[in-house]
């Protein structure tokens, strides 16, 4: 039973993560890394969360059509910027990732988010921010897929836009602002975190607003297009 | 031994009444070069895909297919991947990876070959196909022709014994297409690989073929050597005969003795033979009508210069041109001559550095806020897919009529659909129709702007003759209704047949222009096959019909049928 | 500078170098080590990207570094040596020092990344991970194929829209955004529908068969092995020194570090050698080239 094996593999991996790797990292951070502990612990934790998703995809040996569709969506998320060459702050990544999560499931959502961020940085430059961005977009896609599967998120324009706006503010802004702070300071103080949020807020608001607008306008047609492809070519029946 | 044998293959797509293939029996000998032709939708692609199990469509099927005597179904996935190569139509869609070298290795990686073996095979292919100079490039930096050669090379790297090609040159310009077909021929000759090619560029493909198979409505109509197949088509008065090479058409019409001429060289000899010792008395059909002067100018350019960058090269140089109202004006020329840039000057997307451009009575720059596109000017892009966004063609067309009241809108939609002959396709998804139909749907969308001046960029790209004839008819209808059509094209035969005025664009400006007959007979190379065949005998004979008519007038009577 | 000296070594050598240097640079706050890392990174970045690097340093990096330098003392009031009180909050010497160190650390990490971006091109990255993560690598390669293609198609679509009077560059921000989304929608249909061909092309070339291998142009030669061993030795040396506490400078509560001994000097030397490896290898190549010219 491939189904059974997959679940057991996932369980094993997560057990290993929770019981061994994460405590070990925290101990290492506390006793060895001293001043840089916060930065490294958080970085490693983020890498750990992403690993199982990526390894599961690898393990599943995706079909050609599945691979192509995910690649297309990632590339649209990255290249979509070109359609807004006259309004440069607008980035469609978050919207595309959320739509993917809803249409193709949480795993594909995570993958599209993480890979989009990674690929995008290949064009705009990798940096210490890469893993964090991968994580943020990945988790947003994952959550969209998961909530939709569990019936907590409807595929309507409004609910998706609300989710998109919140995801951008809470997940992306919520993680990226303190993450950039951690790069250059020993520890997180409340004052510093609040300041980083305040400083990041204008950009986060623009980002969130553009995601909301994107989803309001594009969610329905994009979902229809993906459904058509799925129906026409029998694509991607991800087991949830 | 036959490379492939197909026995009584019948196939229907799910939920379709009429079968797509009916009792098809066909064999391709080892090392044979076979051209498969037929109108769009005749089933040739479906047949081709049946020979490659990985691409075979779902549906109901009876009949047998064997590869070198073994039933195709008994071949393992690995065997069929390696032994049967398949090249698709669109060069861009087939490229999977970002680097040329990686693309070459892709199939070999799938087969699980050792990297050292791959290294050797990739090196061999790069040498055979002359890929060396662009071996390290990104695939996005290649030209269309290079991309398709790369697709072919990456399949040949797997050393197939049978090569299937589904209209591989339809998206290429004539020079790249000729080069591609020559490479296929080289593969066939030098490596002995059996080739099964579907094509609509029959002018070039048919003379290369050992055998031509013509399909109609899912069945095989004609199967034989090129000349014989051509003659048989003519006997039947089949529409596809008009896609055959011009020498064959002219030869068959004049009942050339067997074997019929197939190439321009043979055609020329044949015509010379007809008039050996007695040169033709009538060398010209009639004086071309004197240029109608005083027609109103629909488009006018005066001393226009343009470049993209401040210190860049001039792309358009000292261009002056008048296009009269109601005429079909064709601008021809090679890639990179500046034709497309020229169109952007008319749409106002680019402003000339010096000089002026008028559309109808106003300078382009004077039209404000999209006024240029309100019942004035519109352009059909080269790739019609750049216009579709909705679920059905009807919705896509309705998008253009948002400001028109409902009933009126529907009326106009139907009217335009009738003009562009897509009435039956309105409720279909724009990507579920054939290339030619897609283009007509896009044309309909553009025509809903009610343009007085219609611009078209490479409108015959990827179209077979049947679709070209329909398109030509539509454009003529438009001109008759008073619109002006300005098209940019590589397609000499199409322009010769339908244009009122032709112009050759070269190095940023127009080097010659005139009424097609005058225009083409003034060219030595850049002219129709019929003209190249007959230019030493007749003046200003450009189309097949004109050459045939002149021969008849000079007393060449249908003698012995061949 | 692509494929010259250090860049022309096997991707594993490149990657090991950047992984080590980035890790150490993110971690070491000792002023000597910070200095070594920063100046090596700056020198290599200038070598790779020319004077653009300096412009980047002044216009983008410097303001951020200044921000980092101020941020620490502003929010972190640990430390015992109070310099001044601002709004009843102590500004401590330790925190100011830490801020300066963090600013240099931040700058060197960014500079190392700019070198990384120039040296670790996508095919090097793919070569390294193609064997370990074949599907993800292929996915990544396909994305790199699609992104420029989609950007090109976006232009084609925008132009087609202009041709029917919907210029995406005209109108207010809202109208532009709307037209942009229209283009994105057209692009999505086009991309998804055409992707089926791509999948067919993959299947036609046997994708999905068991035992897919991974090919690349890179070969691991003797030169690469030597460089790899050299780098590994340095990494072990520096790591050992760090574990012994030679790389540590305590900032809080009070600046305190170990005395500089011979062992510290070995660590500094090893770290400098590690950070300068690319420049040394580039210089070696230049010398080799000149020699080959003498012979003829």
| Per-residue buried b or exposed e for C242-281, using 16+ beta carbons within 10 Å of the residue's own CB | beeebbbbebbeeeebeeeeeebeebbebbbbbbbbbeeb
Under an 8 A CB cutoff, do C205 and B110 touch? Answer: yes
Q: How confident is the model at residue A237 (pLDDT cuts 50, 70, 90)?
A: very low
Residues B417, B542, single domain; the answer is no
Q: Which residue has the higher pLDDT, B288 or C240?
A: C240
Q: Are C238 and C267 in contact (CB under 8 A)?
A: yes
Report the gap between the CA of B436 and the closest CA in chain C (Å): 16
Residues B329, B252, single domain; the answer is no
Residues B522, B551, single domain; the answer is no
User: Which residues make beta-bridge pairs with B358?
Assistant: B300, B363
Identify which of B465, B453, B513 has the alpha carbon closest to the alpha carbon of residue B332: B513
Residues B219, B349, single domain; the answer is no
Q: Which two tokens stand for residue B247?
A: 């020498």
Determine the 3-state secondary structure of C115 from DSSP.
helix
Residues A141, A223, single domain; the answer is yes
Average pLDDT over residues C181-189: 93
Nearest CB among C159, C186, C197 relative to B388 is that of C186
pLDDT over 80 at A16, yes or no: no
Quick one: pLDDT at residue A123? 87
Average pLDDT, chain A: 84
CATH of the domain at B102: 3.40.50.300
Determine the 3-state secondary structure of B332 from DSSP.
strand
Quick one: pLDDT at residue A11? 67
Quick one: pLDDT at residue A178? 87
Q: Identify the DSSP state of C256.
A: E
Interface size A-B, in CB pairs within 8 Å, comes to 4
Quick one: pLDDT at residue A9? 64
Q: How confident is the model at residue A236 (pLDDT cuts 50, 70, 90)?
A: very low
Task: Domain of residue B149: give its range.
Answer: 2-241
Tell me whether the omega of the peptide bond preceding residue A186 falls within 30 degrees of 0, making it cis.
Answer: no
- What does the pLDDT look like over C23-48, one tens digit per residue? 999 888 899 999 999 999 999 999 99
Q: Are B254 and B271 in contact (CB under 8 A)?
A: no
pLDDT over 70 at B557, yes or no: no
Quick one: pLDDT at residue B258? 72
Residues B496, B557, single domain; the answer is no
The last residue of one of the domains, among A39, A61, A83, is A61
Q: Which two tokens stand for residue B504?
A: 């050759």
Nearest CB among B102, B113, B151 relative to C213 is that of B113
Nearest CB among B107, B383, B388 relative to C156 is that of B383
Quick one: pLDDT at residue A238? 43
Q: Which residues of B touch C144 (CB under 8 A)?
A: 98
Quick one: pLDDT at residue C81? 83
Quick one: pLDDT at residue C295? 64
Nearest CB among C182, C190, C212 relative to B385 is that of C190
Q: Which residue has the higher pLDDT, A83 or A110?
A: A110
Quick one: pLDDT at residue B181? 95
User: Which residues make beta-bridge pairs with A140?
Assistant: none
Reduce the secondary structure of B245-296 to three states and give it as a string. Answer: CHHHHHHHHCCCCCCCCCCHHHHHHHHHHHCCCCCCCCCCCCCCCCCCCCCC
Total Cβ atoms within 10 A of residue B560? 8
Residues B347, B213, single domain; the answer is no
Determine the 3-state secondary structure of B485 from DSSP.
strand
Percent of chain A with pLDDT over 90: 44
Q: Provide the residue count of chain C.
A: 296
The last residue of one of the domains, among A61, A79, A95, is A61
How many structural domains compose chain A? 2
Total Cβ atoms within 10 A of residue B232? 18
Task: Domain of residue A137: give its range.
Answer: 64-233
Report the gap between the CA of A42 and the closest CA in chain B (Å): 34
Residues A171, A205, single domain; the answer is yes
Average pLDDT over residues A199-221: 92
Quick one: pLDDT at residue C46? 93
Q: Give the span between the Cα atoms of A116 and A62, in whole angstroms.
A: 18
Under an 8 A CB cutoff, do B378 and C164 touch? Answer: yes
Q: How confident is the model at residue B210 (pLDDT cuts 50, 70, 90)?
A: very high
Quick one: pLDDT at residue A166? 95
Which range in A3-17, A39-53, B290-304, B345-359 is most confidently predicted, on average pLDDT? Answer: B345-359
Give domain limits for chain C: 5-120+259-295, 129-204
- For residue A238, being part of any structural domain is answered with no
Q: What is the DSSP track for chain A?
A: -HHHHHHHHHHHHHHHIIIIIHHHHHHHIIIIIGGGHHHHHHHHHHHHHHHHHHHHHHHH---HHHHHHHHHHHHHHHHGGGGGTTSTT---HHHHHHHHHHHH-HHHHHHHHHHHHHHHHHHH---TTHHHHHHHHHHHHHHHHHHHHTTSS--SHHHHHHHHHHIIIIIIIHHHHHHHHHHT-SS--HHHHHHHHHHHHHHHHHHHHHHHHHHHHHHHHHHHHHHHHHHHHT------
Q: Are A188 and A177 in contact (CB under 8 A)?
A: no
pLDDT over 80 at B40, yes or no: yes
User: Which residues make beta-bridge pairs with B37?
Assistant: B214
Report the gap between the CA of B410 and the closest CA in chain C (Å): 20
- For residue A240, being part of any structural domain is answered with no
| Per-residue buried b or exposed e for C209-241, using 16+ beta carbons within 10 Å of the residue's own CB | beebbbbbeeeeeeebeebbebbeebbebbbeb
Q: How confident is the model at residue B287 (pLDDT cuts 50, 70, 90)?
A: low
How many structural domains compose chain B? 3
By C-alpha distance, the chain B residue nearest C166 is B370
Q: Which residues of C touch B391 (CB under 8 A)?
A: none
- For residue B298, being part of any structural domain is answered with no
- What does the pLDDT look like over B373-419, one tens digit per residue? 888 999 999 999 999 999 999 999 998 988 889 889 999 999 999 98
Q: Which residues of A touch B399 (CB under 8 A)?
A: none
Integer CA distances (angstroms), A13 to A54, A112, B356, B499, C133, in order:
12, 21, 70, 70, 17
Q: Which residue has the higher pLDDT, B558 or C3?
A: C3
pLDDT over 50 at A1, yes or no: no
CA angle A71–A107–A122, rounded 5-degree value: 40
Q: Give the span between the Cα atoms of B59 and A38, in whole angstroms.
A: 60
Quick one: pLDDT at residue A35? 66
CA angle A151–A157–A163, rounded 5-degree value: 60
List chains touching B (3+ CB pairs under 8 A).
Answer: A, C
By C-alpha distance, the chain B residue nearest C182 is B389
pLDDT over 50 at A3, yes or no: no
Residues A212, A110, single domain; the answer is yes
Quick one: pLDDT at residue C162? 87
Residues B540, B520, single domain; the answer is no
Residues A69, A57, single domain; the answer is no
pLDDT over 60 at C114, yes or no: yes
Average pLDDT, chain C: 89
User: Is A70 part of the contact surface with chain C (CB cutoff 8 Å)?
Assistant: yes
pLDDT over 90 at B524, yes or no: no
Q: Which residues of B touch C200 (CB under 8 A)?
A: 54-55, 88
Residues A35, A6, single domain; the answer is yes
Q: Which residues contact C18 (CB under 8 A, 6 or more apart)?
A: C112, C115, C116, C119, C120
Under an 8 A CB cutoff, do C213 and B138 touch? Answer: no
Under an 8 A CB cutoff, do C72 and A64 touch? Answer: no
Residue identified by tokens 């005749």 is B42
Q: Which residue has the higher pLDDT, A48 or C277?
A: C277
- For residue A222, being part of any structural domain is answered with yes
Identify which of B423, A226, A67, B201 has the alpha carbon closest to the alpha carbon of residue C192: A226
Quick one: pLDDT at residue A7? 54
Which range in B346-350, B389-393, C214-218 is most confidently predicted, on average pLDDT? Answer: B389-393
Phi/psi of residue B506, nearest 5 degrees: -145, 135
Q: Which residues of C touch B349 (CB under 8 A)?
A: 159, 162, 167
Q: How confident is the model at residue B113 (pLDDT cuts 50, 70, 90)?
A: very high
Quick one: pLDDT at residue C74? 84
Q: How confident is the model at residue B517 (pLDDT cuts 50, 70, 90)?
A: confident
Q: Give the span between the Cα atoms of A228 and A232, in whole angstroms.
A: 6
Residues A104, A174, single domain; the answer is yes
The pTM score is 0.90
pLDDT over 80 at C212, yes or no: yes
Quick one: pLDDT at residue B525? 82
To test the contact with chain A by mutation, choose from B13, B81, B96, B139 the residue with the greatest count of A C-beta atoms within 10 A, namely B96
Residues B499, B553, single domain; the answer is no
Under an 8 A CB cutoff, do B97 and C157 touch? Answer: no
Average pLDDT over residues A46-60: 86
To test the contact with chain B by mutation, choose from A72, A75, A226, A228 the residue with the greatest count of B C-beta atoms within 10 A, namely A228
Residues A149, A202, single domain; the answer is yes
Neighbouring C-alpha atoms within 13 Å toward the C-beta of B28: 27
Q: Identify the DSSP state of B127.
A: H
pLDDT over 90 at B196, yes or no: yes
- For residue B317, being part of any structural domain is answered with no
Identify which of B369, B378, B342, B274 has the alpha carbon closest to the alpha carbon of residue B504: B342
User: Is A228 part of the contact surface with chain B (CB cutoff 8 Å)?
Assistant: yes
Quick one: pLDDT at residue B562? 41
By C-alpha distance, the chain B residue nearest A218 is B389
Percent of chain B with pLDDT over 90: 55
Q: How confident is the model at residue B358 (pLDDT cuts 50, 70, 90)?
A: very high
Residues B507, B548, single domain; the answer is no
To test the contact with chain C by mutation, choose from B170, B376, B379, B389 the residue with the greatest count of C C-beta atoms within 10 A, namely B389
Q: Give the span between the Cα atoms of B260 and B228, in whole angstroms.
A: 8
Under an 8 A CB cutoff, do A221 and B389 touch? Answer: yes
Quick one: pLDDT at residue A4? 46
């Amino acid at each position: 039973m491939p189904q059974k094996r997959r679940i057991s593999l996932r369980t094993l991996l997560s057990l290993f993560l929770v019981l061994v790797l994460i405590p070990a990292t925290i101990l290492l951070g506390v006793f060895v890394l001293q001043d840089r502990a916060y930065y490294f612990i958080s970085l490693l934790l983020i890498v750990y969360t992403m690993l199982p998703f990526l390894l599961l995809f690898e393990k599943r040996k995706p079909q050609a059509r599945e691979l192509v569709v995910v690649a297309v969506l990632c590339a649209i998320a990255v290249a979509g910027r070109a359609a807004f060459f006259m309004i440069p702050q607008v980035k469609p990544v978050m919207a595309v990732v959320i739509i993917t999560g809803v249409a193709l499931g949480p795993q594909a959502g995570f993958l599209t988010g993480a890979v989009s961020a990674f690929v995008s940085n290949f064009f705009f430059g990798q940096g210490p921010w890469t893993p964090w961005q991968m994580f943020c977009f990945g988790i947003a896609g994952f959550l969209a897929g998961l909530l939709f599967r569990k019936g907590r998120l409807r595929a309507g324009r409004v609910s998706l836009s609300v989710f998109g706006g919140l995801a951008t503010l809470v997940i992306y802004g919520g993680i990226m602002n303190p993450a950039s702070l951690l790069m250059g300071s020993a520890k997180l103080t409340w004052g510093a975190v609040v300041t980083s949020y305040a400083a990041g807020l204008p950009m986060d608001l623009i980002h969130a607003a553009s995601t909301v607008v994107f989803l309001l306008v594009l969610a329905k047609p994009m979902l229809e297009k993906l459904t058509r492809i799925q129906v026409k070519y029998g694509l991607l029946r991800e087991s949830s | 031994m036959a490379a492939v044998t197909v026995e009584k293959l019948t196939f229907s797509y799910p939920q379709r009444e009429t079968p797509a293939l009916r009792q098809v029996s066909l064999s391709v000998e080892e090392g044979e070069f076979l051209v498969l032709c037929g109108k769009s939708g005749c089933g040739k692609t479906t047949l081709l895909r049946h020979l490659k199990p990985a691409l075979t469509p779902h549906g109901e099927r009876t009949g047998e297919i064997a590869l070198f005597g073994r039933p195709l179904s008994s071949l393992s996935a690995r065997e069929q991947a390696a032994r049967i190569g398949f090249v698709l139509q669109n060069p861009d869609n087939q490229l999977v990876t970002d680097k040329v070298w990686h693309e070459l290795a892709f199939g070999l990686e799938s087969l699980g070959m050792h990297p050292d073996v791959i290294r050797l095979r990739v090196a061999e292919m790069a040498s055979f196909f002359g890929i060396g100079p662009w071996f390290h490039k990104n695939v996005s930096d290649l030209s269309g022709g290079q991309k398709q050669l790369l697709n072919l090379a990456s399949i040949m790297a797997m050393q197939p014994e049978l090569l299937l090609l589904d209209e591989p040159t339809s998206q290429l310009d004539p020079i790249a297409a000729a080069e591609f077909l020559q490479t296929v021929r080289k593969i066939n000759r030098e490596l002995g690989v059996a080739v099964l090619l579907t094509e609509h560029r029959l002018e070039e493909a048919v003379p290369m073929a050992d055998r031509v198979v013509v399909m109609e409505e899912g069945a095989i109509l004609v199967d034989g050597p090129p000349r014989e197949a051509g003659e048989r088509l003519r006997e039947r008065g089949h529409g596809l005969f008009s896609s055959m090479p011009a020498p064959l058409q002219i030869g068959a019409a004049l009942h050339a003795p067997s074997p019929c001429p197939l190439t321009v060289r043979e055609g020329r000899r044949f015509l010379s033979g007809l008039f050996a010792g007695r040169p033709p008395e009538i060398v010209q059909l009639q004086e071309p009508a004197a240029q109608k002067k005083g027609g109103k100018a629909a488009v006018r350019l005066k001393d226009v210069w343009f470049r993209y960058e401040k210190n860049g090269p001039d792309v358009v140089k000292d261009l002056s041109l008048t296009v009269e109202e109601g005429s079909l004006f064709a601008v021809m020329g090679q890639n990179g001559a500046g034709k497309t840039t020229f169109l952007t000057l008319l749409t106002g997307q680019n402003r000339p550095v010096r000089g002026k451009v008028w559309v109808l009575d106003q300078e382009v720059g004077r039209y404000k806020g999209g006024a240029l596109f309100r019942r004035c000017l519109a352009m059909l892009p080269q790739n019609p897919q750049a216009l579709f966004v909705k679920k059905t063609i009807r919705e896509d067309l309705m998008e253009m009529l948002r400001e028109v009241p409902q009933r009126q809108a529907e009326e106009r939609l139907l009217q335009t659909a009738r003009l562009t002959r897509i009435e039956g396709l309105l409720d279909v998804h724009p990507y579920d129709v054939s290339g030619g139909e897609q283009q007509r749907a896009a044309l309909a969308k553009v025509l809903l702007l009610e343009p007085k001046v219609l611009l078209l960029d490479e409108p015959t790209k990827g179209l077979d003759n049947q679709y070209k004839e329909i398109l030509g008819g539509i454009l003529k209808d438009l001109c008759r209704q008073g619109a002006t059509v300005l098209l940019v094209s590589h397609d000499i035969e199409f322009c010769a047949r339908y244009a009122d005025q032709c112009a050759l664009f070269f190095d940023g400006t127009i080097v010659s222009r005139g009424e097609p007959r005058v225009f083409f007979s003034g060219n030595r190379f850049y002219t129709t096959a019929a003209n190249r065949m007959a230019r030493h005998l007749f003046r200003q004979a450009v189309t097949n019909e004109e050459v045939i008519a002149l021969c008849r007038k000079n007393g060449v009577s249908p003698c012995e049928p061949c | 500078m692509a494929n010259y000296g250090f860049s022309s070594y096997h991707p594993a050598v490149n990657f090991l170098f950047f992984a080590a240097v980035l890790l150490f640079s993110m971690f070491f706050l000792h002023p000597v080590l910070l200095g070594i890392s920063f100046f090596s990174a700056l020198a290599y970045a200038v070598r790779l990207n020319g004077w653009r690097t300096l412009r980047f340093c002044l216009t983008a990096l410097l303001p951020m570094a200044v921000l980092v330098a101020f941020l620490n003392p502003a929010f972190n009031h640990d430390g015992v040596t109070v310099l001044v009180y601002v709004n009843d909050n102590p500004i401590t010497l330790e925190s100011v020092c830490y801020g300066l160190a963090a600013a240099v650390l931040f700058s060197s990490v960014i500079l190392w990344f700019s070198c990384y971006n120039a040296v670790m091109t996508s095919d090097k990255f793919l070569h390294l991970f193609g064997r370990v993560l074949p599907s993800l690598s292929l996915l990544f390669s396909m994305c790199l194929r699609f992104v420029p293609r989609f950007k090109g198609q976006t232009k084609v679509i925008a132009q087609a829209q202009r041709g029917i009077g919907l210029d995406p560059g005209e109108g207010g921000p809202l109208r532009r955004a709307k037209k942009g989304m229209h283009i994105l929608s057209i692009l999505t249909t086009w991309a998804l529908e055409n992707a089926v061909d791509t999948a067919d092309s993959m299947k036609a070339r046997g994708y999905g068969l068991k035992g897919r291998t991974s090919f690349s142009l890179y070969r691991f030669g003797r030169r690469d092995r030597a460089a790899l061993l050299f780098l590994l030795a340095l990494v072990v040396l520096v790591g050992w020194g760090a574990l012994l506490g030679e790389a540590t400078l305590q900032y809080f509560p009070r600046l305190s570090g170990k005395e500089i001994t011979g062992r510290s000097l070995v660590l500094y030397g090893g770290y400098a050698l590690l950070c300068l490896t690319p420049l040394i290898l580039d210089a070696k190549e230049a010398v080799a080239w000149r020699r080959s010219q003498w012979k003829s």
